[in-house]
Each structure stands twice: as C-alpha cells, then as structure tokens.
Amino acid sequence: MKDYIDQINGALSCKLYYSALFMTIAIPDICSALQSENNNSDSEKYKNWINKYISDLAPNKYGQKGQLTAEHLWSIRCSLFHQGITTDKKDFNRLLFLEPGTEGYKSLQSIHCCIVGSDTNDKSLLIDIARLCDDMIKGFELWEKDQQSNKFYVKNCKKIIKRYPNGISPIFGTPVIG
C-alpha cells in the first residue's frame, strides 16, 4: 500500500484536498478488510480500527475522549462516499476541513479537531486536513507492522489495487492500474 500512501501525500502537495480526504477516510476500511477473513469491512471493523490505531496518536483529538470519535469518522466516511457531503449527522451541523498554507490556516492550525460555534445552529468541528491525513498514515504504519503474521492480511494483500508500470497480462508495455 506504499503507492496508496504516496498518492495521499502527492494529493496534499498538489493541493488536491478532495482526493487526499477521500483516500484518507478509506484507509480504515481498506485495512480492516485486509486483515479480515472475509476481506470485507463494516462499521464495527472500521470503528475498531480507528480506536486501535488512531485514538492513541492524539487522545485529546481522537477517540472516546477526543472531539473526533470513531463514530464521527464512520459517519464522515458514509456521507462523503455515498452523498459527497461532510457531515456526521449527529453532533455537528458542519465538519470544516482547514486547507494548509492559507492565511486562515496559519492562524488556526493549532485547533485541529476543535468545536466552534458550540452555542449556535452552526456548531462545527474544525479538522486540519493535513493533520488528519498524516495521523491516518501513522495509524496505517502501526497497523501494517501488526499485520505481518496475519494470514488473512498476507492472502488479501495480493488482491489490492496497484500500479503495474510495465503492464500485466493481457496488456503489456504500458502502465496499468488494477
């Protein structure tokens, strides 16, 4: 999955924040599917992955004691992938992702996973998109170390999407992804 992580970092560096966000939110789904016997993910597997690999990275930001819980991330995943919106449909009116490098970002970057407008109808959660991506990548790296002896991971990894720079049967001589 190194290519996948490289794509997220590349998207961030090119300011392709939608691409980076979609790919990042998919990490727990992909990882929890790869480690499972049936090579599938679901809401419980997704949330368990978040709680195991992300929550400890910043307990004041993620997990049961943080502002951005596994339940919120599952809700973001569902609304983003199925409706193209970013909402958690429960605690916040909006989820706002801060873009790196802007003037506003420079003054707000220390408030990753911070609630704003808590006493209004616009109660929102500010999320630093670069920090979220970076933390998910760190969680992935921790998870990958844990999986080296998982027989389901070893088997399922053979099926994951990847780039073949010289092609693959029946198409050779040109890069393909599959």
Measured between alpha carbons, how far is 173 from 9 in angstroms, rounded to an integer? 27
Cβ contacts of 85 within 8 Å, gap of 6 or more: 79
Q: Strand, helix or coil at 62?
A: strand
Measured between alpha carbons, how far is 163 from 13 in angstroms, rounded to an integer? 20
Mean pLDDT by 10 residues, the chain (178 residues): 92 96 96 93 96 91 87 91 82 86 66 84 89 96 94 90 91 92
Q: Residue 151 has what pLDDT?
A: 95
Measured between alpha carbons, how far is 70 from 46 in angstroms, rounded to an integer? 8
